[in-house]
Amino acid sequence: MALPPLVEPAAELSIDEIRRYSRHLIIPDVGMDGQKRLKNAKVLAVGAGGLGSPTLLYLAAAGVGTLGIIDFDTVDESNLQRQIIHGVSDIGTPKAESAARSIAEVNPLVNVVIHNTALDRDNVKEIFSQYDLIVDGTDNFATRYMVNDAAVLLGKPYVWGSIYRFDGQASVFWEEHGPCYRCLYPEPPPPGMVPSCAEGGVLGVLCASIGSIQVNEAIKLITGIGEPLVGRLMVYDALEMEYRKIKVRKDPNCALCGENPTVTDLLEDYEDFCGAVSEEAQEAVTGSTITARELKEWQDSGKDLFLVDVREPAEWEINRIPGAVLIPKGEILSGEALAKFPQDRQIVLHCKSGVRSAEALAAIKVAGFKDAVHVQGGIVSWVNTVDPSLPSY
């Protein structure tokens, strides 16, 4: 359905702006009025990573007057495969600052506001209130639910995108005109069910595909043209080169925007709500966690270890801890690999960061291996504290 323009038009365009945006101005549906609305718009990009990169660059090129960037992370070499707003010279610098420099090169007429901080329940409402539209490019469920809840509570529309390996999704959530994110996903998936991009990977160019959809939707909302993806979910399969649209209806029983909402303010702890690891895993790791340095000390002392890497084979090819054997988490949880575990050796599990190994540890303990432990921080911690010569990813 068509919606009214989100913002009022600016008073005028300068001569420089008319020259710069001339290809927009000659499109009848955009024209002078639409470009003035873009100039007057204030858009916040949540994240300057894979999705935030094309989002920020194209919103800037389109002439959005004020662009906010919130990101607390720094640029890492592994980001450059997909986060095209950053370059080699930006490694180690805050992403928000790096992104702002790139935007200035693309369009110096844009006002950039940097929020070099983590988005949390204490600042999300205050930051969101400064903008007309939110574009969400986050990669974790805790932040996604918080973004949705804050947007609904403030009456703000936001454009959502998600990417994983070869698959992407995008939609527009605006409680005033359609469903919210909780209508689509009332509850977060069980812990460990959906790996992050850092664990499962993402095709770099997929970010451009979904990010461009997000920008397209933002422009439509700001200018009031076309039919935004309100009440529709766009699903993209890069391998099959297939787009599908799925209708998403407003849920009358939604905990946030339904007829009798039970969520009337931001949650106290979104990490707890989404559960980084299951309760079983939390119980399993209590008293059964060692550091990467402790693992190295055990190895150097000659302790008889059965060190198990629970990552996937593709990750194993990138780097590995000496002495480890590969048994993917899925084979442990299904019980398929339990016969491989010895009863007379110290079992140590590790993954990339410690989440998957915690879930595997819970399964191992249920199977009777009560003395098993896992490595806090996984191979990331090993690289950082024991062997920096290993490649990271």
Q: 180, 183, 274, 351: which one is catalytic?
A: 351
CA 219 to chain centre: 22
Q: 180, 197, 207, 274: which one is catalytic?
A: 197
CA 130 to chain centre: 22
- Alpha-carbon distance of 318 to 303, in angstroms, equals 26
User: How is residue 285 written in tokens?
Assistant: 């790791």
Confirm whether 254 is a catalytic residue.
Answer: no
Dihedral of CA atoms 134, 137, 138, 143 in degrees, nearest 10, equals 20
Integer angstrom CA distances of residue 165 from 80, 95, 162, 276: 16, 22, 10, 20
Confirm whether 351 is a catalytic residue.
Answer: yes
Which residues pair with residue 247 across a beta bridge? Answer: 232
Q: What share of the chain is helix, strand, coil (3-state, %, to 5)?
A: 40, 15, 45
Which amino acid, one-letter code, is at 49?
Answer: G
Which residues fall within 8 angstroms of residue 276, CB to CB, at 6 or more apart?
Answer: 142, 191, 355
- What angle do the packed helices 52-62 and 95-106 form, to 10 degrees? 30
Catalytic sites, residue numbers: 197, 351
